[in-house]
Copies of this chain bind each other. A is one copy, B any other.
Amino acid sequence: MSTDHLVVFTPSGKRGRFPTGTPVLSAARKLGVDLDSVCGGRGICSKCQVAPAFGEFSKHGVSSREDALSDWNKVEARYDEKRGLKPGRRLGCQAEIRGDVVIDVPAESQVHRQIVRKAASARVIEMDPATRLYFVEVQEPDMHEPSGDFERLAAALKREWGIERLEADLSVMAGLQPILRKGKWQVTAALHRDHGAGAHRLTALFPGLHETGIYGLAIDLGSTTIAAHLTNLDTGEVVASSGIMNPQIRFGEDLMSRVSYSMMNEGGADEMTRAVREAIDTLALEIAKEAGIAAELIVETVFVCNPVMHHLLLGIDPVELGQAPFALATSDAMHLTARELGLDALRPTAQIYVLPCIAGHVGADAAAVALSEEPGKSDDLVLVVDVGTNAEIILGDRSRVLACSSPTGPAFEGAQISSGQRAAAGAIEAIRIDPETKEPRFRVIGCDLWSDEPGFHDAVGENGITGICGSGIIEAVAELRIAGLMDPSGLIGSPEQTGTSRSVADGRTWQYMIWDASETGGPRISVTQGDVRAIQLAKSALYAGARLLMDERGVDKVDRVVLAGAFGAHISPKHAMVLGMIPDVPLDKVTSAGNAAGTGARIALCNISARAEIERVVREITKVETAIEPRFQEHFVAANAIPHKTDPFPELRAVVDLPETGFGASSDRPAGRRRRRG
């Protein structure tokens, strides 16, 4: 019978027998227990903290006595004195096994700890970032063995951590010698694992034990805004989030106008590349400042973006993306450095990962949505819709995933809408119209009260209602339809047809007046016939794209719908379906994934395997190009009606009454324009 002691680690349940004197860290490593260590067992980093549990553990068949671990040694005592250990905690590298024992590994001591995402989805992110810290002692130079300092650092990393191939940039080489000497030949190396080449790249080197952490940026580079999350690469904690307008807006509001700018202006693409890189630099500095860290501690950055932004970020002229066959210069994931991208705010060696593009119209942002929402792991057939200026649409389940992009235009974001504005304080974001009285009530951004609740006008204040944003206009059009103020073809009825004086002439058409403060010099906020047409075009494009994927997949219905995009979070499922934006499913099967592209970027930042995973998934996705599919036009025309000309939407009609009156009689048209001409 063995005299070794039984050691059980929780929560993993891994167990094994070890002789007296085995350090807990060594036992954990032998059993493959996920226990962190940066300093390599020197008792200085405290990453390997464990909590021994004493008593009878019949579940594990262990009787764990107080003397099952060695007493504190000097190293542990010194650490506790200087930094303090939580009660009951031990340093795994110092505490030695003396008897049978149960040892708990707290979450913060796990390398691959799991981070619960804030979003509705229950999925967790497992921490396994591409860049990690390694503390090593480097041999001092010896004239008899005159190798370079870098080569001795590489040898130390190999000896202590099994790092086989170390590469370094010249800028790191140049800083190497003073750092080694400052740290008295003890240094902490930030090493980036290339998940393809199998080499490690020395991204940063710190004298001694580096304790202020390393950070990563997940950047969602949109046409309109650039959003970033700064994450501690050790804990996974998001320490700051920030956004900035994309300055390329001055070259064109939407993507195609930026492509045109490049085509029309020599050097235009370079100009836009410089602008966006400068904005990213600004954002990086701001977010580091907000988090109170030095920007040089940012060692990783992940980008997700649409194909045009992708090319402009990389310094590639997007001109080919403006015309068939929409050829990407490169579609695979990119591994770069801040120097290559010309990002001066970051250290030159900061590693950049850009997710792969799916197709010329379906970018790395869509890939990030696929990484976040994992349609390929879904048991039921899910349609994921990322609504923005361009809608990315993904349909899939375990058997197959398809993707396309559809040119919805900016109407869903409140642009090209008569009273439209961006989602900012004062914008109407939700609206209900009473089917009996035809009177509206609404809510504006910045105030939790509805407009018919007491105190609303005091809370909002003078001029506090400024326009209508994307989610507001979608709800407004849907409510017009539910209230019978607009017919299935999208025509707004006259006061006679609708029975309300809120139906007001607007040239030869009718508009529905939501808010009129013109007498006090304030705005008139209405839904015009033109607004309805713009929303119809956008929603038809979206629906037609989804239908095209369903055709390709050979199905007539999907099991559930996920609305992604910052905007997706604000769309009410009922209103989206009344409008016919998405196919008919039970309302409780429509969920919001929040900013799924941004979440995908965060996942790729925190977990290196996720990068390999999304690269594989993207290769396997069936790409559908809406521009060349003849059925797209058919689907588009049929989707013009609200909710749809031919698709019956039984799930919707089971819960919502949709009046089928038609307002087509031309005698009811107002004669406004004709009058004005007369």
Interface, chain A (partner B; CB < 8 A): 140-151, 169-171, 173-174, 176-177, 197, 199, 314-317, 319-320, 324-332, 336, 340-341, 357-360, 362, 623, 625, 627-628
Which residues of the partner chain B approach A320 to less than 8 Å between Cβ atoms? 149, 177
Tell me if A359 and B146 are in contact (CB < 8 A).
yes
Tell me if A332 and B170 are in contact (CB < 8 A).
no
- Taking a contact as CB atoms closer than 8 A, the residue among B141, B173, B316 that contacts A173 in the complex is B316
Tell me if A146 and B316 are in contact (CB < 8 A).
no
Shortest Cβ distance from residue A627 to the other chain B in the assembled complex, whole angstroms? 7
Additional 10 contacts, C-beta under 8 A, given A170-B314, A177-B327 = A140-B325, A141-B325, A146-B359, A148-B329, A150-B329, A151-B330, A173-B316, A174-B316, A177-B316, A197-B197
Tell me if B359 and A315 are in contact (CB < 8 A).
no
- Taking a contact as CB atoms closer than 8 A, the residue among B144, B170, B315 that contacts A340 in the complex is B170
Tell me the nearest residue of chain B to A176, going by C-beta. B329
Which residues of the partner chain B approach A327 to less than 8 Å between Cβ atoms? 141, 146, 148-149, 177
| A interface SS class | loop
Which residues of the partner chain B approach A174 to less than 8 Å between Cβ atoms? 314-317, 329
Which residues of the partner chain B approach A151 to less than 8 Å between Cβ atoms? 330-332
Which residues of the partner chain B approach A326 to less than 8 Å between Cβ atoms? 141, 143, 146
Tell me if A328 and B146 are in contact (CB < 8 A).
yes
Which residues of the partner chain B approach A362 to less than 8 Å between Cβ atoms? 146
Tell me the nearest residue of chain B to A196, going by C-beta. B165
Whether A170 contacts B336 in the complex (CB less than 8 A), given A150-B329, A197-B197, comes out as yes
Tell me if B357 and A148 are in contact (CB < 8 A).
yes
Tell me if A360 and B177 are in contact (CB < 8 A).
no
Cα-based distance from A140 to B170 in the complex (angstroms): 38
Cα-based distance from A236 to B327 in the complex (angstroms): 39
Shortest Cβ distance from residue A432 to the other chain B in the assembled complex, whole angstroms? 43
Tell me the nearest residue of chain B to A359, going by C-beta. B146
Tell me if B336 and A177 are in contact (CB < 8 A).
no
Shortest Cβ distance from residue A450 to the other chain B in the assembled complex, whole angstroms? 46
The 7 listed contacts between A and B (C-beta, < 8 Å) are A141-B360, A143-B325, A147-B331, A150-B332, A151-B331, A171-B315, A174-B329
- Taking a contact as CB atoms closer than 8 A, the residue among B148, B176, B177, B329 that contacts A149 in the complex is B329
Cα-based distance from A566 to B327 in the complex (angstroms): 54
Tell me if B169 and A340 are in contact (CB < 8 A).
yes
Cα-based distance from A326 to B147 in the complex (angstroms): 10
- Taking a contact as CB atoms closer than 8 A, the residue among B148, B319, B623 that contacts A146 in the complex is B623
Cα-based distance from A150 to B334 in the complex (angstroms): 12
Cα-based distance from A199 to B328 in the complex (angstroms): 23
Whether A177 contacts B329 in the complex (CB less than 8 A), given A143-B324, A170-B340, A324-B143, comes out as yes
Which residues of the partner chain B approach A199 to less than 8 Å between Cβ atoms? 197
Cα-based distance from A524 to B224 in the complex (angstroms): 80
Tell me if B325 and A170 are in contact (CB < 8 A).
no
Which residues of the partner chain B approach A324 to less than 8 Å between Cβ atoms? 143
Tell me if B625 and A325 are in contact (CB < 8 A).
no
Tell me if B177 and A317 are in contact (CB < 8 A).
yes
Most chain B beta carbons < 10 A, residue from A170, A317, A320: A170
Tell me if A148 and B336 are in contact (CB < 8 A).
no
Which residues of the partner chain B approach A332 to less than 8 Å between Cβ atoms? 148, 150-151
Shortest Cβ distance from residue A668 to the other chain B in the assembled complex, whole angstroms? 45
Cα-based distance from A359 to B358 in the complex (angstroms): 50
Tell me if A143 and B197 are in contact (CB < 8 A).
no
Which residues of the partner chain B approach A340 to less than 8 Å between Cβ atoms? 169-170
Shortest Cβ distance from residue A400 to the other chain B in the assembled complex, whole angstroms? 16
Cα-based distance from A170 to B354 in the complex (angstroms): 12
Most chain B beta carbons < 10 A, residue from A169, A330, A331, A341: A330
Cα-based distance from A177 to B316 in the complex (angstroms): 9
Whether A149 contacts B330 in the complex (CB less than 8 A), given A174-B316, A316-B173, A325-B142, comes out as yes
Shortest Cβ distance from residue A355 to the other chain B in the assembled complex, whole angstroms? 13
Tell me if B197 and A144 are in contact (CB < 8 A).
no
Whether A148 contacts B197 in the complex (CB less than 8 A), given A143-B627, A173-B316, A315-B170, comes out as no
Most chain B beta carbons < 10 A, residue from A146, A314, A325, A627: A146
